[in-house]
Amino acid sequence: MENHPTAPPGLEAWAKPERNEGASAERSAGQQEANAALAALAASGNAFALGQLWEINKGLLRSLFWRWYPAHKALADAHGMTADDFEQEGYFAVQYAAQTYQPEAGSFSNWLGQAMQRQINQALTGGHRRSVTDADGKQHTVSANPLNHCASLDTPLDDEDSGAATLGELQPDPAAASAMQAAEDAIFQEQLHAALEEALHKLTEREQAVIRGKYYAGKTVRQISEEQGLTIGQVNTAKTSAFSKLRRNPRLMRWREETLQRHAWHGTGFSAWYAGGSVEERTVEYLESRGAYSMEEAQP
């Protein structure tokens, strides 16, 4: 599991189920075996098994969450996070736990507790955006990044001296800001690359060959059909099927909003993610254009 030294206060204690809760969540060896078996199936891409694993363990997640949330509601509110948002993060925690679970390390419920700690830490500090409803019932999209919840740049450094310097005067110069953005973009590309590669490996060999050939190697549909011994229709069918699976991949779904917002997919919206392949295609093309893939990776 990943380490997060800057985890929100109280989160580490929350993520460790008490012994009696672990025993309650997995009352029998049979349930432990069921968790382990479902986790293995979910890790291989079985969506039904992932759903079953979520259904079995969501009660435990809710119990753990409500032990942490009441004392830290202000922290969650400050980052635009609601109880419903955390439940959604719970689903992704189950998915991550299934993908990384090591039975020899102990019960799945304890592993899941650590995965949820990681997930909430990412949600509170990862810069994701959230839709929240204010007191008058209107919905607003706010950032979950704590850096965006800061004081006005016009705030004087000395409250008693109206002529004192302001926070805005202490902002970094454009060159420094550009360097920081470049570093952040590099991390973003690396993480998106890893997520996309994981998703591609869950496609069939034919689908992988078509996607890698067209988008990594820049080959035409005709070239791919000749190399793979397929008809043009079969190539197009494989491409359509591949992007349909990518659109339904839970891990890639986490990137859809940030990909659209951070890297300016002008002229597209969330409807494109669901109704067509444009966003996924641009994601692959974007990574390829930034050198995220080598020619060795381009081979089917």
- The radius of gyration of the chain's CA atoms, rounded to the nearest angstrom, is 23
Verify that 195 and 87 share a domain, yes or no. Answer: no
The residue out of 86, 110, 129 marking a domain boundary is 129
The residue out of 129, 145, 176 marking a domain boundary is 129
Verify that 197 and 270 share a domain, yes or no. Answer: yes
pLDDT at residue 58, rounded to an integer: 82
Verify that 200 and 112 share a domain, yes or no. Answer: no
**Cα torsion angle, 148, 154, 155, 157, sign:** positive
Three-class secondary structure of residue 48 per DSSP: helix
For residues 272 and 281, give the distance between their C-alpha atoms in angstroms, rounded to a whole number: 11
Verify that 100 and 201 share a domain, yes or no. Answer: no
Verify that 193 and 125 share a domain, yes or no. Answer: no
pLDDT at residue 227, rounded to an integer: 92
Three-class secondary structure of residue 118 per DSSP: helix
Verify that 17 and 95 share a domain, yes or no. Answer: yes
pLDDT by 10s per residue, the chain, length 300: 444 334 444 444 444 444 444 444 445 566 778 888 888 898 888 888 888 888 888 888 888 777 777 777 777 777 677 777 777 888 888 888 888 888 887 788 888 888 888 887 777 765 445 555 555 555 544 444 544 445 555 655 555 555 555 555 545 556 655 665 666 566 666 777 777 788 888 889 999 899 888 877 888 889 999 999 999 899 989 988 888 887 777 776 665 555 544 443 333 333 333 333 444 555 555 555 555 444 334 333
- The answer as to whether 151 is a domain residue is no
Verify that 109 and 197 share a domain, yes or no. Answer: no
- The answer as to whether 231 is a domain residue is yes
For residues 125 and 144, give the distance between their C-alpha atoms in angstroms, rounded to a whole number: 7
Which CATH number characterizes residue 277's domain? 1.10.10.10
The single-letter code of the amino acid at 277 is G
The residue out of 129, 146, 166 marking a domain boundary is 129
For residues 240 and 257, give the distance between their C-alpha atoms in angstroms, rounded to a whole number: 22
Q: Which contacts (CB < 8 Å, 24+ apart) does range 168-172 have?
A: none
Continuous segment of H or E residues that includes residue 270: helix 270-275
Verify that 122 and 199 share a domain, yes or no. Answer: no
- The answer as to whether 69 is a domain residue is yes
- The answer as to whether 145 is a domain residue is no
* Domain that residue 225 falls in: 189-298
CA-angle at 109, arms to 74 and 114, nearest 5° = 50
Verify that 101 and 202 share a domain, yes or no. Answer: no
pLDDT at residue 278, rounded to an integer: 45
- The answer as to whether 134 is a domain residue is no
- The answer as to whether 135 is a domain residue is no
Verify that 29 and 121 share a domain, yes or no. Answer: yes
What are 97-140's pLDDT values in tens digits? 888 888 887 788 888 888 888 887 777 765 445 555 555 555 54
- The answer as to whether 171 is a domain residue is no
- The answer as to whether 4 is a domain residue is no
- Structurally, the chain folds into a number of domains equal to 2
